[in-house]
Amino acid sequence: MTALVLRGVRPYGEDPVDLVIEAGVISEVARPGSASGRVIDADGLVALPGLVDLHTHLREPGREDAETVETGSRSAALGGFTCVHAMANTDPVADTAGVVEQVWRLGQRSGLVDVRPVGAVTTGLLGEQMAELGAMAHSQAQVRVFSDDGKCVHDAVLMRRALEYVKAFGGVIAQHAQEPRLTENAQMNEGRLSGVLGLTGWPAVAEEAIIARDVLLAEHVGSRLHVCHVSTAGSVEVIRWAKGRGIDVTAEVTPHHLLLTEDLVAGYDPIYKVNPPLRTHDDVAALRLAVADGTIDAIATDHAPHPHEDKDCEWAAAAFGMLGLETAFSIAQLALVDTGLLDWRGLADRMSVRPARIGGVESQGQGLIPGAPAHVCVVDPTARRIIDPEAVASKSRNTPYAAMELPGLVRHVVFGGVPTVRDGALA
C-alpha cells in the first residue's frame, strides 16, 4: 500500500516536514521533499493532531430534521475533527446500551470521524433515576462520558452517586451546571442588559453554585468531574481553586463563549439564544485566560443544530443553541492564537490531547509522532473566509457567525490514515 505524504507541512507551525502515513499510523516524520507516495502538497500549512470535540449534538435519533450522525460527521470532518462526543439528549434519550450502540454504529457507518456516544446520567434526563451507566460502558459503544447535558443533575445525592458509580469503569460525569430554580424561564445573562430588554435573567451564580457544589462532591468521594461549557469568570475562579486543591476536575469552554457577548441579544435575534447564555466582555476575557493557563482544559463546540423555524420566531419561543463544528477552529485561532495566548501546540493540547484524555479516547490526541494513529488536521492560518450559513455541511443553518470574516481554514483532514477532507471539501 502506498504511503500518504503530507508534503512540507509544519507540525504545530514549526519547521516543515514530510508527514508520512502508512497503515493508519504516522510512520515517519521526514525531511521535507524526501518522502514519496501519494503526496498531498501541504507546503507551509500547519499540522495539528485531529481535533476532538467533547460536546456535540448530532440529534439522531429523533431530530433528523436538524442533524443526523452522517451530516454531523461531515460537519465535524470539515471542521478539522476526527472525533466527536455525541450528546445524550436525543429522542429517545441515549440512556440505554441499545441507543448508544445505535449512535455508535451510525458513526461507524459514516466513517468520517470517531463518533463516541455520551450516555445520559439519569433515565430520560429526568434527574430522578440513575440510567444503566454500566451497561452503556460495557456496550460496543464503550461509553466513558456521561451527561444529562441540556439539564443539570441538580439533585445532590444523585450527583454524588453518579460520580461514585462511574469510578468502576473509568467514566466521568460531565455536568451541565445550571441551578434550575435560579434559571426558571431564564432567557439571557442576568445583568444591566437583561433588565433593559425585559428578558428573564440567567444569573452567573446559577452556574457557579453548581460547579462549587460539584467540585466539593468530587473531592469528597474521590471522583473525576468534568464541567461542560463554562461561561462565567466566577466559574473559572471556582475551578481554578478546585484544581489548586488537587480536586480531579476538568472543564471545557465553547468557541462562542470565547468570542461573542450578551450585547448581541439587544436585537432579539434568537440566533444568539444559547444555553448557557452569552455573557459579558469580562467573562470572555477571563475564559480566554483560563484556556491559556490550563484552568479550562478543552474547547468543546456544543454544536447545537436547530431547524430554521425554531430560530425564525420571537426570542422566547426560540430554541437554545448554535452551530459550532465548522467554525470552532477559526474561532479558537482568532481568540487564542492570533491574540498570542496560545501557540499551536497549546491549541492542539486544548482541542485534541486533553479532550481525548478526558473522554478516555485512547486512539485520539496522540500527537504527530511516529507510531501515533494518523488523525491529522491541516490548517491554513493565513486564509480568511466569510461565513455563509447556506454553505455549511450541517443540516441546520443556525450559525451566529453569518457574514463574519474569520481567520483560519481547515484544508486537509486525515482520519485513521484516510483523507476525509481535501482542499477544504470532503474527500
Partner 1 sequence: MRHLLSAADLTRDEAVLILDTASELATVTDRSVKKLPTLRGRTVVNLFFEDSTRTRISFEVAAKRLSADVINFAAKGSSVSKGESLKDTALTLEAIGADAVIIRHGASGAPHRLAHAGWIGGSVINAGDGTHEHPTQALLDAFTLRRHLTNGEGDLAGVRVTIVGDVLHSRVARSNVLLLQTLGAHTTVVAPPTLLPVGIESWPCDVSYDIDTALTDADAVMMLRVQGERMRAAFFPSANEYSRAYGLNAERLRTMRPGSIVLHPGPMNRGMEISADVADSDRSVIVEQVANGVSIRMAVLYLLLGGNTKGQGS
Cell of 289: 485566560
| Of residues 169 and 315, the one with the C-beta less far from partner 1 | 315
Which of 49, 171, 201, 324 is in the footprint of partner 1 by CB under 8 A?
201
User: Sign (positive/negative) of CA torsion 77, 78, 80, 85?
Assistant: negative
| Of residues 402 and 418, the one with the C-beta less far from partner 1 | 402
Question: Does residue 199 interact with partner 1 by CB under 8 A?
Answer: yes
| Of residues 184 and 388, the one with the C-beta less far from partner 1 | 184
Question: Does residue 193 interact with partner 1 by CB under 8 A?
Answer: yes
| Of residues 119 and 201, the one with the C-beta less far from partner 1 | 201
Min dist. Cβ of residue 417 to partner 1 (A): 47
Question: Per-residue DSSP letters for 2-39?
Answer: PPEEEEEEEETTSS-EEEEEETTEEEEEE-TT---SEE
Question: Rounded to an integer, what distance in angstroms lies between the CA atom of residue 211 and that of residue 260?
Answer: 22
To the query of whether residue 302 is one of the catalytic residues in this protein, the response is: yes
List binders of partner 1 among 260-279 (CB under 8 A): 267-269
Question: Does residue 98 interact with partner 1 by CB under 8 A?
Answer: no
Which of 32, 111, 134, 191 is in the footprint of partner 1 by CB under 8 A?
191
Question: Does residue 134 interact with partner 1 by CB under 8 A?
Answer: no
Span near partner 1 by CB under 8 A; candidates 155-163, 187-195, 233-241, 359-367: 187-195
Question: Rounded to an integer, what distance in angstroms lies between the CA atom of residue 63 and that of residue 101?
Answer: 17
What values do phi and psi take at 252, rounded to 5?
Answer: -125, 160
Min dist. Cβ of residue 265 to partner 1 (A): 9
Element of type H or E holding 332: helix 328-332
Catalytic position from the list 18, 53, 148, 302: 302
Cell of 16: 516543515
List binders of partner 1 among 282-321 (CB under 8 A): 309, 312-317
Question: Does residue 197 interact with partner 1 by CB under 8 A?
Answer: yes
CB 369 within 8 A of CB 280: no
Which of 195, 222, 370, 371 is in the footprint of partner 1 by CB under 8 A?
195
Question: Rounded to an integer, what distance in angstroms lies between the CA atom of residue 34 and that of residue 404?
Answer: 40
Question: Rounded to an integer, what distance in angstroms lies between the CA atom of residue 234 and that of residue 305?
Answer: 28
| Of residues 24 and 62, the one with the C-beta less far from partner 1 | 62
Question: Does residue 280 interact with partner 1 by CB under 8 A?
Answer: no
List binders of partner 1 among 206-245 (CB under 8 A): none
| Of residues 200 and 363, the one with the C-beta less far from partner 1 | 200
Span near partner 1 by CB under 8 A; candidates 46-54, 79-87, 192-200, 206-214: 192-200
Alpha-carbon Rg for the chain in angstroms: 20
Interhelix angle 281-293/233-244, rounded to 10 degrees, is 30
Cell of 386: 466569510
Tell me the number of residues near partner 1 by CB under 8 A.
24
Question: Does residue 194 interact with partner 1 by CB under 8 A?
Answer: yes
Question: Does residue 41 interact with partner 1 by CB under 8 A?
Answer: no
Buried b (16+ CB within 10 A) or exposed e, 339-373: eebbebebbbbbbbbbbbbbbbbeebbbbbeeebb
User: What residues contact residue 12 under an 8 Å CB cut-off, 6+ apart?
Assistant: 46, 47, 48, 343, 344, 345, 348, 368
Active site positions, annotated:
302
Interface residue list for partner 1 (CB under 8 A): 187, 190-201, 203, 267-269, 309, 312-317
